[in-house]
Amino acid sequence: MTTTHCQLYLISPLDVGGDFPARLEEALSAGPVAAFQFRVKDIDQHEAARLAEPLQAICAAHEVAFIVNDDVALAKRLKADGVHLGQGDGDPKEARRLLGPDTQIGVTCHDSRHLAMEAGEAGADYVAFGAFFPTTTKAVEHHPEPEILTWWQGLFELPCVAIGGITTDNAKILVEAGADFLAVSGGVWAHPDGPAAAVRAFADILENQPAG
């Protein structure tokens, strides 16, 4: 992923069955979204692939990158646009070997400048810092300050993603600090006015920022 100004990167809720495909369609139709991360836990690959299929088609129709969380094998099976690796989910170099040169590889770096530099050296396409704010999506041990985004932007060309508890109320500080992407889950899917309203609200914030 490349960027000239901050863009929205949606992360799925853990439950992507039921009416979720319709909710994803609603969100992607409401405003610009750069990427969608498929994040499910504790289900086998066959079931994950079944759940991913309609979501991947919706992303393709909207020209939104489809990124698989944590699972290189699933990303390969789906021919996904990318994979996002946590610190315990494998080596970016190995993921690159398995997935090829055109697949986007992102790496969670928490609040660590060292891990981010290592990820860049290993060939990651983007690094993710967080959680910047309290979140109910996952257990959080690391709480970086927004200045880590400014530091990264001052030294590296590689895009950086801000993640963790991001809502339309607190996003602006991360954009101003230098985030290339805002990774948002609950801030869209749990928005009181629905995902379309949330995406439109984020679009207003991001469109009113100067290009970096």
The yes-or-no verdict on residue 2 having pLDDT over 60 is no
Give mean pLDDT, residues 119-143: 90
So what's the pLDDT on residue 72? 97
Determine the average pLDDT of the residues in 28-54: 97
- 63: Cα within 13 Å, side-chain hemisphere: 3
The whole-number average pLDDT for the span 56-81 is 98
Judged by phi (left if over 0) then psi (alpha if -120 to 50, else beta), residue 123 lies in left
Q: What is the pLDDT of residue 208?
A: 82
Residue-range domains of the chain with CATH: 7-207 (3.20.20.70)
* pLDDT of 135: 82
**pLDDT beyond 80 at 210:** no
Query: Per mean pLDDT, which range of 47-61, 81-95, 98-112, 198-212 is the poorest?
Result: 198-212
pLDDT of residue 1 exceeding 90, the answer is: no
Tens-digit pLDDT profile for residues 156-181: 999 999 999 999 999 999 999 999 99
Q: Is the pLDDT of residue 4 over 80?
A: no
What is the arithmetic mean of pLDDT over 146-150?
A: 98
Q: What pLDDT is attached to residue 136? A: 75
pTM of the predicted protein model: 0.95
21 has a pLDDT exceeding 80: yes
pLDDT at 209: 73
User: Given this model, what pLDDT does residue 211 score?
Assistant: 53
